[in-house]
Amino acid sequence: MTYVSDAAFNPFGFDPDGERFVPGFGDVEADFHVIGDHPGVHGGVTAGVPFTETDGARRLQRALLRGGLLQKTGTPPTVDATYLSYLHPSVPDRTPTAEDYAREETFIEAEVRAIAAHVLLPVGERATRWVLENMTTRSSDDIDMAPLHATEIIGSGWLVMPIADPETWDEDDGKQLSDALTELQKQDYRREADLGRLAGGGGPYYVR
């Protein structure tokens, strides 16, 4: 395991078949898990860090900073209880096919389960569709990212907040996201119940 800026870089040692890939980056005990598409869409092809190098990635980082999920923007950013990763971590030499995504799905599934963040933040339509299909009971048909952007959806053990692709943002979208994240952290976004009284031993026992 290699550490960068006090955050774990590829903490699970994933090694996709592709020669180049952008592994997950961030706090392995994160409360927030930001999930993007692939490096060709959301950045990091050269740096090897998700959500870096592109204009959209920089917009997203600024919004996450204002919303309290980053301590500092950059390549790499300094995270604050946040983890960043992709559905398709390999750097594609063409648009990935459905089979390509299916082959690499095991990585994102493992990360989501291992990180066990309380809030999932899928970026863009494909990531949002995947999270809705796998982590909620909500239909993923006919997704319209504009009304979903920066809104809360209750999932199966997760709170989901979709993010419209930052390459398409207007001047208000970044502020909408950062304001929503700030407000969310004032609430009980963990949504845990203490069942310690039932478990014995006298200590707390939190479950979702």
Domain boundaries, the chain: 2-207
What is the C-alpha to C-alpha distance for residues 7 and 74, in angstroms, rounded to an integer? 13
pLDDT value of residue 20: 87
pTM given for the model: 0.86
pLDDT value of residue 143: 92
* Residue 201 burial (CB count, 10 A): 7
DSSP β-ladder status, 159-160 and 119-122: parallel
pLDDT value of residue 124: 98
What is the C-alpha to C-alpha distance for residues 91 and 152, in angstroms, rounded to an integer? 31
pLDDT value of residue 71: 97
Tens digit of pLDDT at every position of the chain (208 positions) = 333 444 466 666 667 665 789 999 999 999 999 999 999 999 999 999 999 999 999 999 999 999 999 999 999 999 989 999 999 999 988 999 999 999 999 999 999 999 999 999 999 999 999 999 999 988 888 899 999 999 999 887 899 999 999 999 998 999 999 999 999 999 887 764 433 344 455 554 344 4
The matching CATH number, chosen from 3.30.70.980, 3.40.470.10, 3.30.420.40, 1.10.760.10, for 2-207 is 3.40.470.10
Largest distance between two CA atoms of the chain: 56
Task: Give the 3-state secondary structure of residue 40.
Answer: helix
